[in-house]
Structure 1
Amino acid sequence: MSRTGSPIAVTGATGGIGRRVAARLGARRRNQRLIVRDLAAAPAVVGADIEQIGPAGYRDTAGMVNALRGTETMLLVSGRESAQRVVEHAEAVQAAVQAGVQRIVYTSFLGADPDATFTFAQDHYATEQLIRETGLAYTFLRNSQYLDYVPRLVGADGVIRGPAGQGRIAWVSRDDVADVAAAVLAAADGVHDGQTYDLTGREAHTMAWAAEQLSAATGREITFRNQGVQEAYESRAHLPAADFELDGWITSYVAVGTGEMDVVADTVERIAGHPAQDLPDWLAQNPESWAHLRS
């Protein structure tokens, strides 16, 4: 069977989302172009073209324009957290315009807003605005926090600490995000243009509930302890992290506490065609994610 459609450009193809999307588009036999910095780390997807950009990533304008030429749709996977992430995204968006891309599907964040409590959600809103201003067709996938992160929230002493209070959040799996992204990218022209989709799990829960699920999975007592914001900063002051990272980590908890993350959407089931994963199922299917908590 031949492959169909003009190539879909998949950025961040060596990462957690891009790699999954590339595999799903490959299974759909869609033409795609994987844009990577490290050729050796590129996923092995039959029939996919691979284009390498420089170590500057999205800021390698010439490399990005060259990699995007001849594609009509780009999956813009948000860059890793950095103080210059919006600038990096702006470079990628402008490269898409120069290369003649007609549609951008962007992995944004739930509650993206200039006044969002979570500082990184402000960055995502700024990127959405940059994309809107190009006049290109777009779809924004506003993901909740990833299920993958939940086991990483636990300290060495078995405690999740943060100023989240009794706030609730519906974590979403990367697999579900990739399923939705692949479906959107492969859909007929115009079906998802101009749409903003919230991607969440099936139910919203507290951090204390998450600790209970981790306890059940690991056989170790794991608890949640609420912190004040100042206490949260003080308890992380020893970490080798830049100010913007600390702000992002701590405000991610605060946003849960304010209710900004208490959103449940049916996007995964409606677009991907199956129920979203929940934390207990995900932990059962991914024991490697919490193996370090058993030691």
Structure 2
Amino acid sequence: MTIAITGVTGNIGSRVAELISQKGLSARHLARSPEKAKKYAKAELFKASFDYSSQTIAALKGVDTLFMVSAAEHPKRLQQHFAFIDAAKEAGVKHIIYTSFYNAREQSVFTLARDHAKTENYIKEKGFAYTFLRDNFYLDFFLDLCLENSEIRGPAGDGKVSAVAREDVAEVAAVLLTQPEKWLDRVLNLTGPKELSMSAIAETVSHKTKQVIPYIDETVEEAYASRRAWPAQQWEYDAWVSTYTAIKAGEQAGLTSDIERVLGRPAKSLEELLKDRAPKSFSSDN
């Protein structure tokens, strides 16, 4: 069985590549800029983009199971996904494990979730065996907001999100790649162990870091205004703001045991993530 991993220079793909290497398995690594990718003894490195090109088809030729990390946020991401899926079909790939999004629907409040729903449908339409990893927003994202901005700001109200640690998603993917036949045509919803409001996240990080990190509950209008401090396109502003409106709408709430089912341990909590991030810097108080 030949497995391939995309996005090996990114957060998820690089960690999955490392975990697969630690298991002693051979893999094919695909990267748009292979010179940036870490080298492993049992990994072949191929230059490939999310497109339908002879280069990408050649990189996928002979691959049985493909771990497809969703492309970087881009106005043409959906077209990139479709082209890459077409290339995988032409190359003879049988099974795609795709990093989708929790509660992805074509009418999702979170604008970027809509592309994930359409990508899932396209993978099915093309006749692939599939496994969809529908991960929720990353706990790491909210922790970074707290540590780097010293606040969380957005129109989430009292809505809750079952945010998941990025490491858990990578570990689940690595397990699936070792036994992909066990997970054919399955959807796994990857959540953290708790439903958290923005204020609860801010309070937890404040307590552990001994800092004052507030949650500022903006209106939608205020959220757009505050984000215009960063030059961006309208679709990016829409995505940033809808991160919070999706939480307020309840679309990111709910808990599952899928991570525990795959890994044999509970999903990592925010407190554990804080401890992993900087164990000597933060308080160990409960």
Q: After TM superposition, is the score higher than 0.5?
A: yes
Residue identity opposite 2:272 in structure 1: D
- 2:270 aligned with 1:279, yes or no? yes
Among 205, 220, 232, the alignment partner of 1:229 is: 220
Instruction: State the shift of 1:156 in Å.
Output: 7.0
Structure 2 match to 1:12: 7
Which one of 174, 183, 188 corresponds to residue 166 of structure 2?
A: 174
Q: TM-score by structure 1 length?
A: 0.91
- Pick from 26, 39, 46: which aligns with 1:51? 46
Tell me how far apart the structure 1 counterparts of residues 117 and 140 of structure 2 sit (CA, whole Å). 23
Shift of 1:60: 5.6
SS in structure 2 at match of 1:166 = coil
Deviations 1:196-246 (A, max 9, x none): 110011111110010012212322100101111111111212311111111
One-letter amino acid of the counterpart of residue 44, structure 1: K
1:103-142 alignment to 2 at 5 Å?
Answer: 103-142=95-134
SS at match of 1:30: coil
Q: Select which of 253, 257, 276 maps to 1:262.
A: 253
Q: Distance in 2 between matches of 1:82 and 1:143?
A: 19
For 2:180 and 2:28, locate their aligned partners in 1 and report how far apart those are by CA, in whole Å: 19
CA distance in 2, matches of 1:142, 1:157: 28
Distance 1:68 1:246, change over 3 A: same
- Alignment: residue pair count: 281
> How far has the Cα of 1:64 moved from its partner?
1.3
| Per-residue deviation, 1:159 | 2.6
**Aligned-partner Cα distance in 1 for 2:22–2:148:** 40
Change in Cα spacing, 1:38 to 1:275, as seen in structure 2 (3 Å) is same
- TM-superposed deviation, 1:280: 1.1
How far apart, in 1, do the equivalents of 2:180 and 2:72 lie? 30
1:29 counterpart = 2:21: no
SS of equivalent residue, structure 2 residue 112:
helix
Query: 1:188, 1:75 → 2: CA distance?
Result: 10
1:200 aligns with 2:191: yes
Comparing 232-241 with 77-86, which one deviates more in the overlay?
232-241
Q: Partners of 2:180 and 2:224 in 1: how far apart? A: 47
Q: Which secondary structure does the structure 1 equivalent of 2:205 belong to?
A: helix
**Distance in 1 of aligned mates of 2:40 and 2:157:** 44
Pairing 1:148–2:149 present:
no
Alpha-carbon distance in 2 for matches of 1:46, 1:82: 33
Tell me the residue number matched to 2:61: 69
| Cα distance in 2 between the residues matched to 1:199 and 1:163 | 24
CA RMSD of aligned residues (A): 1.8
- 1:249 equivalenced with 2:240 (yes/no): yes
Aligned to 2:151: 159
Contact 2:162/2:196 (8 A) holds in 1: yes
Counterparts in 2 of 1:203 and 1:156: CA distance versus 1, 3 Å: closer
In structure 1, how many angstroms separate the alpha carbons of the residues matched to 2:273 and 2:147?
A: 20
Structure 1 segment 89-104 matched on structure 2, within 5 A: 89-104=81-96
Identity of aligned residues (%): 36
Structure-2 separation of matches of 1:103 and 1:202: 29
Q: CA deviation at 1:157?
A: 6.5
Cα deviation, residue 188, structure 1: 5.1
Paired residue type of 1:198? N
Consecutive unaligned residues in structure 2, runs of 5 or more: none
The structure-2 alpha-carbon separation of the partners of 1:141 and 1:188, relative to structure 1 and needing over 3 Å to count, comes to closer
Is the Cα contact below 8 Å between 1:203 and 1:264 reproduced in 2?
yes
Cα deviation, residue 52, structure 1: 1.4
Following the alignment from structure 1 to structure 2, what is the Cα–Cα distance between the partners of residues 103 and 15?
A: 22
* Whole-angstrom distance in 2 between the partners of 1:120 and 1:188: 27
